[in-house]
Amino acid sequence: MLQATSELEFSSDRTSEGISHLASLALSADSSPSEKSSPGLPEKTGYPDSVYVMAANIFQGIRFEKSPEQVLIKYGNEPLRSLPESEDEAFQRSSYELAFSALKFQDILETMLIDSYIFPSTTIPDHLSSLIIVMLYDFQDRKFQARLFSDNEEPIAEVQEVENLLNSFKTKLAAALARCRIKHDALSIYHILPETVRNQELRASTLPLYAWINTCKISPEDVYYSLKKKGYNKVNSVLHIDEKVFAVDQHCYDVLIFPSHLKNDLLNIDLFKDYKLIFQDKSRSLAVHSVRALLNMDDDILMVNTGSWYTVAHMSVLTNNNTSKIFVCGVKSQAKDPDLKNLFTKMGCKNIEILHETFLNIESKDHRLQKVKVILLLPRCSGLGVSNPVEFILNEHEDTGLLKDFSQGGTSEDKLHILAQQQYEQLTHAMKFTKAQAVVYCTCSVYPEENEAVVKKALEFQDLGIKVQPYRLSPPVLPLCSLKEIQLSTDKFFRMEPSGITNGCFLSVLTRERDPSETVSVKDVLARAAAKGLLDGIELGKSSKREKKKKKSKISLPKAPTNDNNSLQMKITEFLNRETNVNANRSEILTTKTSLPQKNATSAASSLRVRKPSKPATNPLVPTFMRNPAHPRPHERQTNFLRPRPEDRVIALKPIEIVLPPVMLPFSSPQGIKSQIPTQHFYYHWVAPKTGYFPSPAITRRGEKPKENSPSSLLRHPRPWL
């Protein structure tokens, strides 16, 4: 039994009025960020007794130990007796959250116990000190209000005794909390935490929920339809939306995103109860999708340090249509095999094989792993890129000692060096598997010592003595959906920094360099496909007629190279002579006087057919101004083209019309315009042999007097070039 001295015996140092004032200050001002951000949440009523007991045992193993001269509160080494229901997932989550919260405020809670004279005024067994710490945190989090009891709850004697003790010192505990806040000039004890921890908790309260679709049991379209029936609308983004909505992730086509406040509602939907939708951090989905992009139809996969079994299930679902087999190593206890097989059966996963050896003890030439082509390595890391440490510990089966690092917002150098060395050993061991062609390395850390440094060191010191091609760093196989992602991936690493929409993630893909001596022909590829039965009904022995013609042409070309070269040279010479004759005849026609008879012009060009322009037509795009062709300049040439003979091979030019508009002056009458324009106007007009795209220009024949412009034409087309 706890023996507590009356509260009144220790009130001589301060007046009860001052204590009451400080206590009221603590009760009115102290509140957590979650309460401020969610004013509609119900008031906290406490936890069951069994949760306090399990949280005390967890805190006992992760608490900060002080030097002997600074120890004011002693903690025992004996754990408290826990109930069998501690295996429940929700029960474990509540216990870990309570223990982690008490760990973050360990110094403040110990100061409150000493300042309120609970220590050393009471005779408290050392093994109950951890229970007092976790229950005190929950007591002040409830603003020192009484806990509500459940009728179905079995009371635990130690919890009842500690609760009675705290209730008897309620006023002094509230006053001690107020003095602590005043000392640190903080609105609440939450603001006393390091800034990194505060930012982490703020992100955890608003981070969206990610869930992947189990396509072995349901299609994405059916999921969308079911969610719509439940009142969920599909949107492009779930940020800053308080409604029932969801969105599809940009990197993973089978991952849906929900607002954080919908978790309790979603857990009651059949889609989650029946394992059709599974909550999981996005970084794990990115890892399995990267592996899927590197696989062939019959390639096996080796998964190392998978953490959550949902990651294994997701990998199995993505390879459901393949003949791939997934090997999972590191399952130490065979007693978990029935539970795991039961879980995988419920999720529709059939291609999973569990290995009980640790990864470093598996030989690279293990006969079971001869078809393994891709190794997925998810090493233990500091996890400082995640926002919810408790979820990370529970889902990834990590060491609870990491909670101590999370409570301080960082990892010590010594521990970081130990983790990096373990990661390096696992990565180099994965690179020793001679049959493997790729290694995917993924962490939730933000430290370069665990990410880039490990990969670069492994590539630098990889064993080049074995008769396989060395590994190289490959670009990400995931889509880059923003400029920031592109900038972060310039060195071939895929990174996501911790933010309000996702946790931190680092991903690297290592692939073997292609052997230049191994060249696979099309015939070899077809032979392999035929051996696997992928070319049913297609005969590879018979070659097509086109291939036979190609072979004949290739064989016949070297036999008579002289005749072919001579014929080609003759064609070139004939073409040049023909072009020379055409140019000579054209110049002769242009220099002939316009007064020659028509029959002389015909006899002069008997071998050539001259295309004569027809009667001048009015072109709406060309003004019909008067021309004076009496004295043509040397560079002025009439644009008459010769129609080539049908047997001549002349490449037809594309029809192009170029019209240079005259200058229009603002005169009121056509006579004014006529008097001001120059005496000669020329329109250079080029028309291809066949003019089918543009109207014929108004070009006069030589010897014909051009018609003067009529007033009607000028009024109809004042600005013909527009």
Residue 156 and residue 288 in one domain: no
Helix axes 129-141, 170-184, angle to 10 degrees: 80
Q: Which of 497, 512, 527 is the last residue of a domain?
A: 512
What gap in Å lies between CA 352 and CA 313, rounded to an integer?
A: 8
Q: For residue 247, give the 3-state DSSP assignment.
A: strand
Residue 297 and residue 179 in one domain: no
pLDDT in tens, 533-588: 666 666 655 555 555 555 555 454 444 444 555 666 676 677 667 766 766 665 55
Per the structure, the count of domains in the chain is 2
Q: Which of 463, 484, 512 is the last residue of a domain?
A: 512
- CATH code, domain carrying 392: 3.40.50.150
Q: Give me the active site residues, please.
A: 444
Residue 424 and residue 307 in one domain: yes
Residue 464 and residue 340 in one domain: yes
What gap in Å lies between CA 174 and CA 139, rounded to an integer?
A: 10
Please check whether residue 718 lies inside any domain of the structure: no
What gap in Å lies between CA 622 and CA 683, rounded to an integer?
A: 9
Please check whether residue 722 lies inside any domain of the structure: no
Phi and psi (nearest 5°) for 373? -110, -25
613 residue type, one letter: P
Q: For residue 398, give the 3-state DSSP assignment.
A: coil
What is the dihedral sign for C-alpha 193, 198, 204, 205?
positive
- In this prediction, the residues of the chain whose per-residue pLDDT falls under 70 are 1-43, 84-87, 397, 465-466, 515-521, 532-569, 571-572, 575-576, 579-580, 582-722
For position 630, what pLDDT does the model report?
Answer: 44
Give the other-Cβ count within 10 Å of 176's Cβ. Answer: 26
Residue 189 and residue 331 in one domain: no
Please provide the size of the chain in residues: 722
Separation of CA 328 from chain center: 26
Question: DSSP assignment of 436-480, as one string?
Answer: --EEEEEES---GGGTHHHHHHHHHT----SSSPPEEEE--SS--
For position 485, what pLDDT does the model report?
Answer: 83
Residue 177 and residue 325 in one domain: no
Residue 319 and residue 461 in one domain: yes
Tokens 């795991």 belong to 340
Please check whether residue 340 lies inside any domain of the structure: yes
Closest CA to 96 of 331, 382, 388, 305: 388
What gap in Å lies between CA 684 and CA 102, rounded to an integer?
A: 93
Separation of CA 203 from chain center: 19
282 close to 306: Cβ distance less than 8 angstroms: no
Closest CA to 409 of 644, 578, 194: 194
E strands, 501-614, are 505-512
For position 722, what pLDDT does the model report?
Answer: 44
| H-run or E-run covering 32 | none
Q: For residue 646, give the 3-state DSSP assignment.
A: coil
Residue 173 and residue 53 in one domain: yes
Phi and psi (nearest 5°) for 507? -140, 135
For position 227, what pLDDT does the model report?
Answer: 96
Please check whether residue 656 lies inside any domain of the structure: no
Q: Which of 193, 216, 232 is the last residue of a domain?
A: 193
Q: For residue 666, give the 3-state DSSP assignment.
A: coil
Task: Record the tokens describing residue 303, joined without a space.
Answer: 């998964």
What gap in Å lies between CA 351 and CA 341, rounded to an integer?
A: 11
Q: For residue 159, give the 3-state DSSP assignment.
A: helix
Please check whether residue 599 lies inside any domain of the structure: no
Please check whether residue 261 lies inside any domain of the structure: no
CB-based contacts of 653: which residues, under 8 Å, 6+ apart? 688, 689
Look up the domain containing 367 and give its range: 283-512
98 residue type, one letter: L
332 close to 407: Cβ distance less than 8 angstroms: no
For position 200, what pLDDT does the model report?
Answer: 86
What gap in Å lies between CA 112 and CA 368, rounded to an integer?
A: 59
Sheet architecture: strand order including 209-213: 233-234, 245-248, 255-258, 209-213, 277-279
For position 529, what pLDDT does the model report?
Answer: 73
Please check whether residue 43 lies inside any domain of the structure: no
Q: For residue 513, give the 3-state DSSP assignment.
A: coil
For position 536, what pLDDT does the model report?
Answer: 65
Please check whether residue 341 lies inside any domain of the structure: yes
